[in-house]
Copies of this chain bind each other. A is one copy, B any other.
Amino acid sequence: MEGKKFLRLLSLLLVTFILFIFIFVRNSDLPSSKNFHYVNKAAAELELQPPPRKLTRHVHVSDMARHPLDPLTVQEMNRVRSIVISHALFKAAKSYALHSVVLEEPPKPLVMRWKEGDSLPPRKASVIARVDGGTHVMIVDLGLGRVEFVDVGERSGYPTMTIEDMNTATLTPFGSKEFNRTVVARGVDLKDLACLPISTGWYGKKEEKRRLIKIQCYSLEETTNFYMRPIEGLTVIVDMDSNQVLEISDNGRDIPIPQAANTEYRFSAQKNIHHKIKPINPISIEQPKGPSFTVENGHMIKWANWEFHLKPDPRAGTYMDAGEYGFGLTAMPLDPLNDCPRNAYYMDGVFAAGDGRPYVRSNMVCVFESYAGDIGWRHSESPITGMEICEARPKVTLVVRMAASVANYYYIVDWEFQNDGLINIKVGLSGILMVKGTPYTNLDQVSDQESLYGTLLSENVIGVIHDHYITFYLDMDVDGSDNSFVKVNLQRQQTSPEESHRKSYLKATRSIAKTEKDAQIKLKLYDPSEFHAVNPSKKTRVGNPVGYKVVSAGTAASLLDLDDPPQRRGAFTNNQIWVTPYNRSEEWAGGLFVYQSHGEDTLATWSERDREIENKDIVLWYTLGFHHIPCQEDFPIMPTVSSSFSLKPVNFFERNPILGIPPNFEKDLPVCQATSSTS
């Protein structure tokens, strides 16, 4: 049964961006001042203001925290480590590893009240450690040098894997003679073997009480794109705590390893085809006077009428399928000029290794202004009125980007800020498919195409149907912390003949969600609604409550049985929108310890408590989904496919906030020439 083998490929991806603080300053030609705060977690570290062309490698050793939300510095991490390992628990331990070392953010009111020049609230770290097979959550007070243990109760799962876990696990099978024998029997030289650590998930007793990982292997012979050369049916289960091989499945020996031909994607390996595509002349977004945004104290970004704090996080984003890898941990350095345009700023992440020592993930996030040629707004008068008016404004945006990989796949996450107050959040999928081997080399050999559960991408290669779900944690503070969630339902209003020659009108019915269950939202094309987060106590001049709305675009909903273990663990995808009261212990939609968790600590279980959410500090969760039926164009590497959703001001401003931006004038634009090397 072909289908059996792809069961691990359903990607339940959870991105809970947290702890981004946005302060949107209203167009100041309008009387009151209004803030839009919400919270996310991403990335930062940036020193220079305009314009540096040269990328300067930032030295982090002397970094100082200057804002309550600034991430732990190198010095702070070292201090956390020394406090932790001096603790009796660690001193007495046979083995331990730190699975997470991040800033423990101060309570929100302290952050909100803090102003530049104030001293920082006490600096604390949140640490998750495994010690002799047990999991501990600790708050470390850096000032007092104290460790406080947090009782998180009984939880079924394990914390995010460390990079060391993954590295060790992929090497473990090589210690097994049986494993080596079967690899060689399949005609693969051990030196050509590449193995990946795939989280086991949880399906029942078999995955309980031990921290497991599944190793799948590939042939590297004649290609660097080993992902396209799976050794089908060979799977090793490894215990990550004891580093033992527990089980080797060796099925599918009749399935050939797909050939290396056509699998290379590196530029250096494409020599023979470069010239076949009509070349594109150099094209670049140019800002000769430098970018318009500034980065203050390393993390506070100011652009147009936006101000926000940006910092990197090792977890934000959790890959559920493979348990937990950490979205930040797997965010690779961005490639200047290709991952981000020339005018981008790059920010490093500073994370802790398994032993607690800090390391730098360079260029993890980029920030740049984008101009794609789009129009911010326009109007010209038509010949009917005879007025000579033509007004148009170019649309310039600010993009914050990271690209996280989970080995094969890439999730390119863009937060795009518009000067009209809209935020567009876009997720692009690229990278390499997780494929499976098949005996088929042509579709005409397949009697029942459905049983492929995917598409034949090349000889002996099937791209399996799968989904991606990315859940965003949006701590909405629209002009104050207490907000309400309002469903604005569009309805047909029937009319009577004496009223109109029309049979129906459109009307909007507003209902405020009182409790969490009122805000478990499934999008409906044929029963459409808008979804607003409003501040009921702040009104515009003509009396509308100020608000932001979530605007969905293309998305997808899971088709799995609600009782299917992956769906229970990923139950946060059961609705596209949820709203919960702000609660510091409800930060990760899949639960604090996702790895092998049973699904008892997810957004879905929290929301079932049906707490009150009207005029409270609320968190809005949005899930962006993709169905992916692969096609041959995805082989051997996928052109980016993207989808997005927006947060859009709705009666947040008294009127269009970008009336005042000037049009472009020729005299302001740069003078450019090709460099000598290409002219």
In this assembly, does A509 line the interface, its C-beta being within 8 Å of a C-beta of chain B?
Answer: yes
Chain B hits for A663, CB < 8 A: 267, 335, 337-338
In this assembly, does A303 line the interface, its C-beta being within 8 Å of a C-beta of chain B?
Answer: yes
Asked if B675 and A651 make an inter-chain contact with CB atoms under 8 angstroms apart, the answer reads no
List CB contacts (< 8 Å) of A625-679 with chain B: 627, 629, 631-640, 643, 649-675, 677-679
Q: Give Cα A453–Cα B636 distance, bound, in whole angstroms.
A: 52
A456 to chain B, nearest CB (A): 5
A456 and B544 in contact, given A465-B508, A502-B566, A559-B490 (Cβ under 8 angstroms): yes
Q: Give Cα A449–Cα B508 distance, bound, in whole angstroms.
A: 8
A420 to chain B, nearest CB (A): 4
A292 and B280 in contact, given A285-B371, A382-B405, A432-B379 (Cβ under 8 angstroms): yes
Q: Give Cα A557–Cα B524 distance, bound, in whole angstroms.
A: 10
Residue of B nearest to A677 (CB): B667
Q: Give Cα A145–Cα B471 distance, bound, in whole angstroms.
A: 66
Asked if B3 and A662 make an inter-chain contact with CB atoms under 8 angstroms apart, the answer reads no
Chain B hits for A385, CB < 8 A: 194, 196, 407
Chain B hits for A291, CB < 8 A: 281
Chain B hits for A378, CB < 8 A: 335, 338-339, 403, 410, 412, 430-431, 640
Q: Give Cα A564–Cα B493 distance, bound, in whole angstroms.
A: 12
Asked if B277 and A431 make an inter-chain contact with CB atoms under 8 angstroms apart, the answer reads no
A285 and B287 in contact, given A407-B384, A490-B465 (Cβ under 8 angstroms): no
Asked if B267 and A430 make an inter-chain contact with CB atoms under 8 angstroms apart, the answer reads no
Residue of B nearest to A564 (CB): B503
A503 and B563 in contact, given A285-B284, A526-B557, A556-B525 (Cβ under 8 angstroms): yes
Asked if B670 and A650 make an inter-chain contact with CB atoms under 8 angstroms apart, the answer reads no
Chain B hits for A1, CB < 8 A: 499-500
In this assembly, does A274 line the interface, its C-beta being within 8 Å of a C-beta of chain B?
Answer: yes
Asked if B373 and A344 make an inter-chain contact with CB atoms under 8 angstroms apart, the answer reads yes
User: Which of A86-94, A95-103, A133-141, A439-447 lies at the interface?
Assistant: A439-447
In this assembly, does A561 line the interface, its C-beta being within 8 Å of a C-beta of chain B?
Answer: yes
In this assembly, does A64 line the interface, its C-beta being within 8 Å of a C-beta of chain B?
Answer: no
Asked if B660 and A330 make an inter-chain contact with CB atoms under 8 angstroms apart, the answer reads no
A653 to chain B, nearest CB (A): 5
Asked if A503 and B267 make an inter-chain contact with CB atoms under 8 angstroms apart, the answer reads no
Q: Give Cα A396–Cα B465 distance, bound, in whole angstroms.
A: 29
Chain B hits for A456, CB < 8 A: 542-544
Q: Give Cα A649–Cα B392 distance, bound, in whole angstroms.
A: 34
In this assembly, does A260 line the interface, its C-beta being within 8 Å of a C-beta of chain B?
Answer: no
Chain B hits for A520, CB < 8 A: none
Asked if A650 and B678 make an inter-chain contact with CB atoms under 8 angstroms apart, the answer reads no
Residue of B nearest to A663 (CB): B338
In this assembly, does A279 line the interface, its C-beta being within 8 Å of a C-beta of chain B?
Answer: yes
Contact with B along A251-281 (1 / 0, CB 8 A): 0000000000010011100101110111111
Asked if A338 and B627 make an inter-chain contact with CB atoms under 8 angstroms apart, the answer reads no
Q: Give Cα A408–Cα B454 distance, bound, in whole angstroms.
A: 48
In this assembly, does A185 line the interface, its C-beta being within 8 Å of a C-beta of chain B?
Answer: no
Asked if B375 and A224 make an inter-chain contact with CB atoms under 8 angstroms apart, the answer reads no
In this assembly, does A7 line the interface, its C-beta being within 8 Å of a C-beta of chain B?
Answer: yes
Chain B hits for A453, CB < 8 A: 493, 505-508
In this assembly, does A393 line the interface, its C-beta being within 8 Å of a C-beta of chain B?
Answer: yes
Q: Give Cα A335–Cα B279 distance, bound, in whole angstroms.
A: 29
User: Which residue from B393, B502, B541, B635 sits with its C-beta under 8 Å from A203?
Assistant: B502
In this assembly, does A157 line the interface, its C-beta being within 8 Å of a C-beta of chain B?
Answer: no
User: Which of A16-24, A111-119, A238-246, A547-555 lies at the interface?
Assistant: A547-555
A159 to chain B, nearest CB (A): 18
In this assembly, does A167 line the interface, its C-beta being within 8 Å of a C-beta of chain B?
Answer: yes
Chain B hits for A504, CB < 8 A: 559-561, 564
Chain B hits for A163, CB < 8 A: 383-384
Asked if A421 and B379 make an inter-chain contact with CB atoms under 8 angstroms apart, the answer reads no
Contact with B along A320-346 (1 / 0, CB 8 A): 000000000010111101111110100
Q: Give Cα A396–Cα B456 distance, bound, in whole angstroms.
A: 29
In this assembly, does A606 line the interface, its C-beta being within 8 Å of a C-beta of chain B?
Answer: no
Chain B hits for A467, CB < 8 A: 506
Chain B hits for A4, CB < 8 A: 499-500
A283 to chain B, nearest CB (A): 5
In this assembly, does A149 line the interface, its C-beta being within 8 Å of a C-beta of chain B?
Answer: no
User: Which residue from B3, B29, B278, B561 sits with its C-beta under 8 Å from A304?
Assistant: B278
Q: Give Cα A635–Cα B654 distance, bound, in whole angstroms.
A: 8
Residue of B nearest to A553 (CB): B554
Q: Give Cα A12–Cα B660 distance, bound, in whole angstroms.
A: 32
- Among A391, A395, A506, A651, chain B packs the most CB atoms within 10 A around the CB of A506
In this assembly, does A619 line the interface, its C-beta being within 8 Å of a C-beta of chain B?
Answer: no
Contact with B along A554-585 (1 / 0, CB 8 A): 11110111011110000000000000000000
Q: Give Cα A467–Cα B650 distance, bound, in whole angstroms.
A: 18
Other CB < 8 Å A-B pairs besides A1-B499, A444-B543, A523-B525, 13 of them? Answer: A7-B501, A170-B384, A278-B292, A282-B288, A284-B669, A285-B286, A373-B399, A376-B640, A443-B539, A554-B554, A637-B659, A668-B677, A671-B674
Q: Which 5 A-B pairs have the closest CB atoms?
A: A443-B543, A372-B372, A29-B273, A203-B501, A338-B392
26 A-B pairs (CB sep. < 8 Å): A4-B499, A6-B505, A265-B391, A266-B391, A267-B663, A274-B662, A280-B419, A281-B289, A282-B287, A283-B396, A285-B373, A286-B286, A289-B679, A335-B392, A338-B394, A376-B639, A379-B430, A442-B541, A442-B542, A456-B543, A488-B629, A490-B627, A490-B629, A502-B566, A636-B656, A671-B675
